[in-house]
Amino acid sequence: MLLALLVVMPAQSAVAEAGPPAPGPGSELVPGVPPGPHQPWQVDTPDQMLPPRVYTPSAQEDAVEPRDAPAETDALIEYVPLSEAVAGKSVTCSKLTGPYQRQVERWLKLKVDGKQSARDCAAIRAFQTKEGIKPNTGFAGPVTWARMQLMSAKKKPNAAGKCPVRSYRVACVDLTRQLTWVQKGKKVLWGPVPMRSGRAGYRTRTGWFKVYWKHKSHWSTLYNTPMPYSQFFSGGEAFHAIYGSIYDPNGSYGCVNLRLADARSLWNVTKTGDHVYVWGRRAGT
């Protein structure tokens, strides 16, 4: 009889209100604005363990400048969940928790709980609109966070002293913040600019290196892919431009990827023999 009563009695436990879904892996995000036709030469190549064949380019070869990147390449296109990308303009304020929710909340001086809220979304949207990030739906994605980190580092990128101060030029590569700059002593000569380092399984090597070869119009011989303004510093790892987005959450295959304009200007700052210091760790690696 007691057993029967236990079976038929209704449960009285309260049902907790569901909060925003937890953020998924950054590698599952897609551009919030559909990109143009994909070309194989827009991506980095997975041969960074292999040093290139070093030679001295002829004056004629060196005079040829790599082609410019399409205008839309450097657009600040946020990476969002596929469901929101498909929904398009019908999503005015994202209800989803982004992979950089806590960091963005802290930067905007919001309540830091790592959960998307209406207030969070409004504040993130306002920032995205001001900075020209599209879609400006308030999703705390990699482009929004990268923009915030660049703004924070602009005046004094080495405020934490992570890049050693030397009397000579040092190209500083901060894997944690995904920023790079060149300094001599305490003076910043170039940058900081956003960059993209190695993905999981292809992490950019850390430590001290030297630029040992510069090749303006380098091509990957394995993948027939351009690596404009290449400056090699560790085996097959180099600073070089890509024709795709440096904000792609997947990361490179080890190289330090730059926007073409940044790679072009860095080319005129650093020389063969200059020191490179790499430290930190890219999120997700």
| 162/273 same-domain check | yes
Overall pTM surpassing 0.75 (yes/no): yes
C-alpha span between 181 and 172 (Å, rounded): 5
| 161/147 same-domain check | no
Q: Is residue 248 part of a domain?
A: yes
Q: Is 163 a catalytic residue?
A: no
- CATH code of the domain containing 123: 1.10.101
Cβ-contact 53, 213 below 8 angstroms: no
Query: Which residue range forms the structural domain that includes residue 165?
Result: 156-279
Q: Which of 215, 218, 240, 275 is catalytic?
A: 240
Cβ-contact 160, 176 below 8 angstroms: no
- With a CB cutoff of 8 Å and minimum separation 6, the contacts of 149 are 177, 178, 179, 194
Give the tens place of pLDDT for each residue, 46-66.
555 577 878 788 888 888 888
SS3 of 24, please?
A: coil
Judged against a pLDDT cut of 80, whether residue 132 lies above it is answered with yes
Q: Which of 121, 163, 172, 255 is catalytic?
A: 255
| 178/197 same-domain check | yes
| 126/189 same-domain check | no
Q: Is 240 a catalytic residue?
A: yes
What is the spatial order of strands in the sheet that 187-194 belongs to? Answer: 187-194, 179-184, 169-174, 275-279, 207-210
- From 152, 186, 206, the end of a domain falls on 152
CA distance from start to end of the chain: 59
C-alpha span between 187 and 191 (Å, rounded): 11
- From 117, 152, 187, the end of a domain falls on 152
| 126/170 same-domain check | no
| 138/177 same-domain check | no
Cβ-contact 126, 104 below 8 angstroms: no
Give the tens place of pLDDT for each residue, 187-211.
999 999 999 999 998 899 999 999 9
Average pLDDT of the chain to the nearest whole number: 86
10 Å CB burial of residue 200 (0-12, 13-18, 19+) is exposed
| 148/175 same-domain check | no
